[in-house]
Each structure stands twice: as structure tokens, then as C-alpha cells.
A and B are shown apart, each in its own frame.
Chain A
Amino acid sequence: MSDLLVDGLSGLLLALGCLFMVSGAVGLLRFPDFYTRMHAAGVTDTLATFLIVCALMLQAGWSLALFKLGLILLFIFFTSPAASHALAKAAQHSPLRLEPVAEQGADEAFPEPGQGTEIAEPALEADAANADRA
């Protein structure tokens, strides 16, 4: 009975994890530019990984594999922000740079924080420009 419960639960977690993985992959293909695609990739290395590793932990039962899976999860959660940041930082050194230097035209100038909702418009234009370049 409890075996059935554990199997069912881990199957459910696996299915959910796969759903999130596929969603992340679809997002990666659908989103328009580099930065938005990074957000989609973020889904695959946080919740999707968590769900799948949890399902595997349920299958492993009380064994050494359980601890190893826990360590894998821990390291993924510690390293994936570093990897994402490295990607974003690298993009900052490329034509995809988020914040154009002040000398460039006013239409591309980066809005100062504190302007509230107006911020969305110029940033959208910048992102559209990035999409063209990408």
C-alpha cells in the first residue's frame, strides 16, 4: 500500500517536472530575445529539476542515493544562479547590452529608476532592438 503511494506520488512529481521542463523548452523557443529566453531557461533549472529530483528521491528510499540526490539538488540550486549571471554578464559585454551608454540617442537612453510605470516603454524598445540583432 505504501509502496503504491510512494510510486504514485513520485510518478506525479515526475509528470509535473516533465511538464515544467517542456514548458521551459517551449518558452526558450517562443520568447523573442536573449534575456526573455533566459527566464524560460530558469524554469527548467529550478522547479522542474526540483520536482524530478524529488521524484527520484522517493524512488531511492532511505539509502545513500537519497543523500546524493539531495546534494545534486543543493549544488544545482547554488550553481545555476552563478551560471545565469555569467550568461547575463557576458551579454552585457556584447551588442545585447541592456543599458546603452548615455552618449547614445535619447530614444535608447536607459530610464532612471523612480519614473514608475513609464519605464516599460523605452525598455521594450530596447528589447525589440535586441531581438532584431539576435
Chain B
Amino acid sequence: MRYTLALFAILAFVWLANSGHYTGLLLSFGLVSVLLVMVIARRMGLIDQESQPVHLLSRLPRYYWWLFTKIVRSNIDVVINVWRGPASISPVSARIPARFHSDLGKVLYANSITLTPGTVAVDIEGDEVLVHALTAGGLEDLRGGEMEREVRALEK
């Protein structure tokens, strides 16, 4: 039930933020389209813990902030490598262990890896992520497990 409510709140917010016309007619159109999307999502079995991870909500801001600082740092690293030229990079790829309680944790981890420039999650197989990194340092950083710990703290 709360996932349904969460989806309703998000869809309503997106409609209100994008419409800008708050007349009765357009608001009722908004309500109709929100309900239509919810009916479709329900029929497709999309309303569940994975699509509406409301249980993460209280810990998300902290994780987003950590991820943001990480993104800024790795952006600067990659830009430095760009201007130093191809001689400064050492592309590597390896499988990194990704053991989480849920698939959601794996997805969060892989997406976070891809979102930070310098590392890309190429594939997930079982409990391992195939990662390509721009520098050996970037891969070592990932192996250090800081991001893994953060994601685990987020999902539990």
C-alpha cells in the first residue's frame, strides 16, 4: 500500500512541477493520467519494494552526499588525466566482489560505479561486477571497499 502511495506522490509531484497551469480542468487531467499510469504499473507488477524503495528514504540523503563528493573527486581526477594525455592512464578491468543483501544493493553499487567517471560497471555475474577503470588507482580505490561499505550501510 505504501508503495502505491509513494508512486502516487512522485507522479503527482512530477505533473505539478511540469505543468504550471493550476486550473481545475488541467488538474483533473493530471489526476486521470496519474491514475492511468498507476493502473498500468499495477498490471505490470511494477509497484513493489524495488521500484519504490521508500525504506531507503531516511538514509538516502547521506549516501547521495557521499556519492556526490565522490563524483566530484573522480571528475577532477579524470580531467587531470585528460589534460596530461593518454600516457597518464593505465586502463584495467577486473571483477570486483559485490555481496549485498538484495538485488537492489547490487544495482545501487553498479550504478554508483558507473556514475563516478573513471570507472564503469560493464557486467554483473552472480556476486561479482566486471569493472573497467581508467587508471589502476581507480580500481584499487574500488577494491578498498569504501563504496561497498556505503551501499551496504544504505540498504540494511
Taking Cβ atoms with an 8 Å cutoff, the residues of A that contact B are 20, 23-24, 26-27, 30-33, 35-36, 38-40, 42-43, 46-48, 64, 67-68, 71, 77, 80-82, 84-85, 88-89, 91-92, 98-99, 110-111, 113, 117, 119-120, 123-124, 126-127
Residues of chain A within 8 A of B85, CB atoms compared: 30
Nearest-Cβ distance from residue B121 to partner chain A, whole angstroms: 6
- Chain B interface size, under 10 / 10 to 19 / 20 to 34 / 35 or more: 35 or more
> B83 touching A23 by the CB < 8 A rule?
yes
Q: Which residues of B contact A (CB under 8 A)?
A: 14, 17-18, 20, 71-72, 75, 78-79, 81-83, 85-86, 89-97, 110-112, 114-123, 128, 130, 132, 134, 136, 139
Task: Please state if A47 and B75 are interface contacts (CB–CB under 8 Å).
Answer: yes
Q: What does DSSP make chain A's interface, helix, strand, loop or mixed?
A: helix
Contact in complex: A38, B92 (CB < 8 Å): no
Q: Are B86 and A47 in contact (CB under 8 A)?
A: no
In angstroms, Cα B81 to Cα A126, docked, is: 20
Give the shortest distance, in Å, between A131 (CB) and chain B (any CB): 10
A119 touches B92 (CB 8 A): yes
